[in-house]
Chain A
């Protein structure tokens, strides 16, 4: 029985049950929680954090951390906003440009870590400042707003992407759900995904088995920062303007969501589904506390406590099995 308890499937199941219990408790105690409009609103609110959590998951599984994800959010958001406002680029191209920005950032992070051999924590700390600085430089300290009076098509597109709904279901939620499925497939059903798990679990062993750990790590960072860039684009879309300060602290949100969802900080363990559940748990908690009018400071305390509890629970399970 205990071997099942330690399996990834059970871990996920335990997270899912927490989510369900939370849902039930909130539904019974909080007025209007269970309304469809509130539930879909939660999905909208969670979209950005979920996307970033997906990206962080890739990097955590490969055995590293990405502290620069928040800065990439800001940078990509500003880049796409600028292209839309000042260069009359089509919305799709602007989004792609934002994603490419993310890819470049991921590539730079990956190179620093694999070729310059700087430990991920330090490397991404440095790049987080660099990317944020570039973001502030090109944004010039002002929000970059796309107005419907000046760029009607762009403004309309952004509105649909950021806060639009199809039959009541937020577009942004559709994005992160489909993305979640696609990324799940990549992690579990491609060679890259397997290499990521192998590298994170024991890098030297993976290398001696013929896996190109450098390339694998760089790919993981590219995926992470492209997803962070997507988060930045979604923020720009929702607010119809690029914010220079967007995404500040969001990398920590992403890490918290992933860890709550069962992704291990030591590498080699975790799943996209887990990250999604973690993001949903955090989103529901926030929503529940807001609906009950509770002070914003309590939210931080609660989320911190949940994070600690999630990690402690895992370690406790592991110890019981004697591994």
Chain B
């Protein structure tokens, strides 16, 4: 069978970083080729070269046996290559249909865009993907999960033969993931080849035919998927044995520190009766849009709620701005670090210290030395990989960016920390580190809320779980009661307490 794609001896250097070192990889029609590796291993870079975003320093690419030069994304599309990136490439201000067919509009005889065609084609696509989204909806109004599905629809609609999915399911729920896999199977049967980049092992189990492992820019191995054991995979990715995916914990749970008695937003949220104790990790589970992030933001003072009653250490508190929340010892790690968790164009030090600039005043003036000391403390203790303390945060990998966000909140004395999707888009090694950190924080008697769409993660880390569905808490489960099926039932609203 002729190969769809071959990438031979691909190398790529960035200033100070050797991103890819002599990589060889190929793709057959009808196969799902999983690409795994820690963040910074080079997967995204390799795919960006395929998509024409970067040019390789050396090596060549063959499509259908013929050597090609992919100078830009347009050229890639012409060759039948399309990528769904981890970071969305969509415009929030225009409609779904325009986003999907951007640059490919059909014109009517007057030279104007054929809106009818646009609408019907988009609707066909939405139906195919079983999405209940009107093509004229403005993209900015959709949830993160819906945007991800639109991004996938866009790639599919180009009739590309070589597709790359980079973490396509990070915001999706079980049902949506199932549908995606069905679509992938269909595409493969039509002769497409698919690169699938993901950190979710369970998903790969369902669809991967072959698997390639990259580590630190180097090709480690390529095998048939069934010939690769989980332990082997992880060992190759991180170069070390990982016994447990989740660190052991023995929690010392104390008194109640946070009580969310009521959060009410008409038509959106009707929450009551949530408690978090010292040393406890409480999970907020549920489908996207169920109200978990909204509740957290309301408690943190980031958004207004019509009615809100919160008690800390038994005393009612009034929190109207994030500053109030911080002063009461609450910290909030947002679910979208690039959007609102970090100032991308500022450096590491300025980001780590953002919650506590006043702490570094010496004689009335800001002491750069004290600030740097504090930043270095976290760079060392939680292992943030950065060439320097003045490195612009934009240039760090996803996992390291998340660590910077975490440091921001560790810099501040907090009693309650809310982690919103803390391990989204982060490799296995870094995930483990973050779980360990969360455990250490709980040992320090902090109360932790973990919002996550990753069920194994919830089950692996939490003492108790509140399950949200459509703005309400439908289930409360203790450690022993936790199972994927139970959580899912409450999340879908099948069971309600």
- Whether A and B touch (Cβ < 8 Å) is answered with yes
Distance (whole angstroms) from the CB of A320 to the closest CB of chain B: 10
Nearest residue, chain A, Cβ from B408: A209
**B302 / chain A contacts, CB cutoff of 8 Å:** 207-208
In chain A between 160 and 211, which residues have their CB closer than 8 angstroms to a CB of chain B? 185, 188-191, 193-195, 197-198, 201-202, 204-211
A189 vs B361: C-alpha distance when bound (angstroms):
9
Verify B354–A206 contact, CB threshold 8 A: yes
Given contacts A3-B16, A190-B366, A197-B350, contact A210 B355 (CB under 8 A): yes
Closest to B332 in A: A208
User: With A185-B365, A210-B355, A323-B392 in contact, is A3–B408 under 8 Å at CB?
Assistant: no
Question: Which residues of B, 354-413, contact A by the 8 Å Cβ criterion?
Answer: 354-355, 357-358, 361, 365-366, 368, 387-388, 390-392, 394-395, 408
The B87-114 residues at the A interface (CB cut-off 8 A) are: none
Q: Contact: A3 with B387, CB < 8 Å?
A: yes
* Contact of A3 with B15 in the complex, beta carbons under 8 Å: yes
Distance A63 CA – B354 CA, assembled complex (angstroms) = 17
A36 at the interface (CB under 8 A from B): no
Minimal Cβ-Cβ distance residue in A for B366: A189
B344 in the interface (beta carbon within 8 A): yes
Of the residues A3, A7, A190, A197, contact of B365 by C-beta under 8 Å: A190
Interface centre among B342, B343, B368, B388 (most CB of A within 10 A): B343
- Asked whether A283 is an interface residue with its Cβ less than 8 Å from the other chain, the reply is no
Q: Establish whether residues A194 and B357, one from each chain, have CB atoms under 8 Å apart when the complex forms.
A: yes
* Residue B34 lies at the interface, judged by CB distance under 8 Å to chain A: no
Flag if B340 contacts A204 (CB, 8 Å).
yes
Contact for B345 among A2, A3, A269, A322, CB less than 8 A:
A269
Chain B's interface size range is 35 or more
A201 to B391 CA separation, bound complex (whole angstroms) = 15
Residue B255 at the A interface, CB < 8 A? no
Q: What distance in Å separates the Cβ of A237 from its nearest Cβ neighbour in chain B?
A: 32
**Contact A323:B357 (CB < 8 A) given known A3-B16, A198-B350, A202-B343:** no
A202 and B300 alpha carbons, distance in the complex (Å): 19
For the complex, is B323 an interface residue (Cβ under 8 Å from A)?
A: yes
Separation in Å of the B302 CB from the closest CB of chain A? Answer: 6
Per the bound structure, the CA–CA distance linking A206 and B365 in Å amounts to 21
**Residues of B with C-beta under 8 A to A322:** 14
Contacts of A2 in B (CB 8 A): 15
Within 8 A of A (CB), among B6-64: 14-16
- B108-152 contact mask (Cβ, 8 Å, vs A): 1 or 0: 000000000000000000000000000000000000000000000
List A residues 122-178 near B (Cβ within 8 Å). none
Nearest B residue to A1, CB-CB: B15
A204 partner, pick from B339, B391, B394, beta carbons under 8 A: B339
- Is A6 positioned at the interface, with any CB of B under 8 Å from its CB? yes
Partner of A193, one of B334, B344, B366: B366
Segment 287-345 of B: residues with Cβ below 8 Å from A:
300, 302, 321-323, 325-327, 332, 334, 339-345
Q: How far is the CA of A2 from the CA of B13 in the complex (A)?
A: 13
Which chain B positions have C-beta within 8 A of A300? none
**What are 21 A-B pairs at a CB distance below 8 A?**
A3-B15, A6-B392, A188-B366, A191-B357, A191-B361, A197-B343, A197-B350, A198-B346, A202-B340, A202-B342, A202-B345, A205-B340, A206-B354, A207-B302, A210-B322, A210-B325, A211-B323, A211-B357, A212-B321, A268-B346, A321-B15
B354–A198 CB distance below 8 A: yes
Task: Contact check, A201 vs B322: say whether CB atoms are below 8 A apart.
Answer: no
Please tell me if the beta carbons of B343 and A3 are within 8 angstroms of each other in the complex.
Answer: no
Q: Is the interface of A mostly helix, strand, loop or mixed?
A: helix
Chain B residues within 8 Å of A, Cβ to Cβ? 14-16, 300, 302, 321-323, 325-327, 332, 334, 339-346, 350, 354-355, 357-358, 361, 365-366, 368, 387-388, 390-392, 394-395, 408
A204 contact set on B, CB distance < 8 A: 339-340
CA distance A118 to B121 in the complex (A): 39
Give the chain A neighbours of B395 by CB distance below 8 A.
Answer: 3, 323
Chain A proximity of B406: nearest CB distance (Å): 13
Q: Which residue of B lies closest to A207 (CB)?
A: B322
| Cβ–Cβ contact B345 & A205, under 8 A | no
The residues of B that contact A191 with a CB separation of less than 8 Å are 357-358, 361, 366
Q: For the complex formed, measure the closest distance between the CB of B268 and the CB atoms of chain A, giving whole angstroms.
A: 20
Q: Cα distance A149–B357 when bound, in Å?
A: 54
Closest chain A residue to B333, Cβ basis: A208
| Residues in B neighbouring A269, C-beta threshold 8 A | 345
Instruction: Give A7 to B345 CA distance when docked, in angstroms.
Output: 10
Contact of A7 among B325, B332, B366, B390 (CB under 8 A): B390
A205 in contact with B365 given A198-B346, A210-B326 (CB within 8 Å):
no
Measured in the bound complex, the distance between the Cα atoms of B343 and A191 in whole Å is 16
Residues of B within 8 A of A323 (CB): 392, 394-395
Q: Which residue of A lies closest to B355 (CB)?
A: A209
Residues of A within 8 A of B321 (CB): 207, 212
* Alpha-carbon gap, A198 to B322, bound state (A): 15
Chain A nearest CB, measured from B55 CB (Å): 11
**Roughly how many angstroms separate A284 CA and B297 CA in the complex, as a whole number?**
52
Cα of A211 to Cα of B394 in the assembled complex, Å: 21
Across the interface, which residues of A come within 8 angstroms of B387, CB to CB? 3
Asked if A205 and B342 sit within 8 Å, CB to CB, the answer is yes
Within 8 A of B (CB), among A1-35: 1-3, 6-7
Who on chain A is nearest to B367 by CB?
A189
Top-5 shortest CB links A-B: A201-B343, A210-B326, A2-B15, A204-B340, A202-B343
Question: In the bound complex, what is the Cα–Cα distance between A191 and B354 (angstroms)?
Answer: 10
Shortest beta-carbon distance, A103 to chain B, in Å?
22
